Structure 1
Amino acid sequence: MLEKQFYAQVEKSAKGFFIFAIIIILFFSGISFTFVIPGLKGFDLFFMILTLFMYFMVANIFVGLFKERLWFILMICLLVSSLGMGWRLWLEWGEFSLVEHMNPTVYVGYPIVITLIITGFYSFISSVYGKKTKFES
């Protein structure tokens, strides 16, 4: 019942929710990559759970905005998460706190992992939500 209200609200103000989702991906991909990679300096479990929750929210917004557009979600998430991480690296280039995170595996892998997490949440939520709507109709 709550999901119907939420998705109706998302459909009514689609542009605002889309901008909100993009900003969440942009900022959390830039902020979180130094805190959510286990084994690297600065790992924080609370921040990792918070980041996963925010990406879950983004996936819910995308379910309300885009019906069965998996590749579009994949490309948008990859582009925006790469921009967010690049923005953070550009702002803090040369700082000692980022030395451990300065390797190609983190550069390439982290935006891909973010994209796969959001896309996985999107496909799971859309399959569950799609089954509910088909069942009720």
Structure 2
Amino acid sequence: MKKLVIFFSFLTILTSCTSNDVTPSNTGISGIWKIKSYIDNNNRDRTSSYTAYSFEFKSTGEIIVTSNATKYNGTYATVMDSGKQKYNIVIATTDNTLAEINEDWILSEQTDTTLKFTKSSGGNGGAKTLIFGK
């Protein structure tokens, strides 16, 4: 009986914990995308800074970003954060413009040709909006 109580206690603790674990990324956003709009948390339109970039989201969770002849590698994964599913995008780069994309974004709209991501900023109350198109 004691072992049964310990087992159920352990099971309850295990299943009641919140998790920020990474889950598989093959969620239908794979393909080659371009940034159609990027509004930063100060409500500035930064879209023109990204016209040279294309983003290939692979179903394996890998991102390949191409700008002219330069390629950048990265990853994306869905994570649960504060009860919301987010896409964590991480691109290995020293390019400050491209590094702005490294965030945990909420996918707020998805069609065959559009991905709209949003990100609420902490202290200043602003929000970022990032829209990819095919």
- State the TM bucket, normalised to the shorter chain: under 0.3
Higher helix share: 1
Q: Higher relative contact order at CA 8 Å, sep ≥6: structure 1 or structure 2?
A: 1
Larger Rg: 2
Higher strand share: 2
